[in-house]
């Protein structure tokens, strides 16, 4: 799930491709794959200053390297007790002409962040995509997968997401369907920042499906000057013009939806069926915003 809703990083922001569309060309899906790396790793900027970085308490995700389903995203960061760092992320994504709201929370520590690259434990606490549609997609995909396994065997299934997922055997499917996609660990590396106006962040997550990553540009002012960002990207061998613009004004005008304490506390306590639903109706790295899980039978 996660990749698409958030950074993106992540992620369940649905992509334009449908897992039930046989007309989708596998090559067009492969083109969305970021790299063949086996680990989440990106060199952070030199001489990173954590104290200055944490002064940017509110930022907007204004650009990303991949993904077009994210409408906008807002990140609010604060230091809690005992050096813990709490980031609340909310935003909107689009699917089939409709726009939905999501909210997630990521936690890490100042100690983990001090070198500019760190891991955060994240959890999705709100998603307004209708549950009845989630159940519809879940039932359909579960039937398809079950029939394929019984008829063709796990070795005759093909996935376009990663070699790791392709290698899953029949017994592995239980661990896949019991996986809770509302919780995940996110790797982040601060590629560059001026500690006041912008930050360029590499986001990555690794799970049973493989690795998904993205590069996101955060700004404290969505109307701020972009020249320093262009210079920083050029020094990294990147072109600002190749990044995808997000609609920050949408988040500013629509704001955050109310999330109750009960919703946060109950998150992750869904019954098994709802947990399994999210495997098949969402991307496998909201946060990272690229493509859906697609499972097909190999053609004879």
Characterize the bridge pairing of strands 70-79 and 58-64. antiparallel
- Helix segments in the chain, DSSP class H: 2-5, 26-30, 50-53, 110-113, 131-152, 163-166, 172-178, 227-235, 248-254, 261-266, 272-281
Within the chain, strands assigned E span: 58-64, 70-79, 84-95, 98-109, 117-127, 157-159, 183-193, 198-207, 210-219, 244-245, 295-297
What is the rounded distance in angstroms from the CA atom of residue 185 to the CA atom of residue 120? 6
pLDDT tens digits for range 105-144: 999 999 999 999 999 999 999 989 876 555 544 444 455 5
**Global pTM exceeds 0.85:** no
Q: Give the confidence band of 259 by pLDDT, cuts at 50, 70, 90.
A: low
Structure tokens that stand for 132 in this block: 């009845």
pLDDT digits (tens, 9 = 90+) for 1-18: 565 566 443 333 333 333
Give dist(CA 100, CA 93) in Å, integer. Answer: 5
How many other β-carbons are positioned within 10 Å of the β-carbon of residue 293?
19
The hierarchical CATH code for the domain 46-135+178-254 is 2.40.128.20
Closest CA relative to residue 105, chosen from 129, 117, 121? 121
Q: Give the confidence band of 67 by pLDDT, cuts at 50, 70, 90.
A: confident
Secondary structure class of 73 (helix, strand, coil): strand
Tokens coding 98: 């409709």
> Looking at residues 44-66, what average pLDDT do you find?
97
């Amino acid at each position: 799930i996660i990749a698409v809703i958030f950074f993106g990083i992540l992620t369940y922001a649905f992509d334009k491709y449908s897992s039930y569309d046989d007309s989708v060309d596998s090559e067009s899906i492969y083109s969305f794959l970021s790299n063949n790396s086996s680990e989440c790793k990106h060199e952070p900027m030199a001489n990173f200053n954590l104290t200055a970085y944490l002064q940017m308490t509110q930022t907007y995700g204004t650009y990303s390297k991949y993904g077009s389903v994210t409408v906008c995203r807002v990140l609010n960061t604060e230091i809690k007790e005992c050096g813990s760092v709490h980031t609340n992320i909310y935003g909107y994504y689009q699917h089939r002409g409709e726009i939905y709201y999501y909210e997630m929370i990521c936690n890490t520590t100042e100690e983990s962040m001090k070198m500019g690259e760190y891991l955060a434990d994240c959890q999705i606490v709100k998603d307004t995509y209708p549950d009845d549609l989630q159940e519809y997609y879940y039932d359909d995909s579960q039937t398809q997968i079950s029939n394929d396994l019984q008829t063709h065997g796990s070795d005759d299934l093909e996935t376009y997401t990663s070699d790791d997922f392709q290698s899953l055997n029949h017994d592995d499917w239980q661990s896949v369907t019991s996986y809770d996609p509302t919780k995940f660990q996110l790797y982040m590396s601060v590629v560059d920042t001026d500690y006041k106006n912008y930050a360029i962040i590499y986001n990555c997550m690794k799970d049973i499906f493989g690795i998904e990553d993205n590069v996101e540009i955060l700004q404290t002012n969505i109307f701020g000057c972009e020249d320093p960002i262009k210079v920083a990207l050029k020094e990294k061998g990147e072109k600002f013009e190749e990044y995808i613009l997000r609609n920050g004004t949408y988040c500013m005008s629509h704001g955050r939806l109310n999330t109750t304490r009960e919703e946060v506390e109950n998150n992750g306590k869904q019954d098994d069926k709802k947990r399994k639903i999210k495997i098949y109706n969402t991307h496998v790295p909201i946060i990272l915003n690229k493509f859906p899980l697609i499972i097909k039978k190999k053609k004879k």
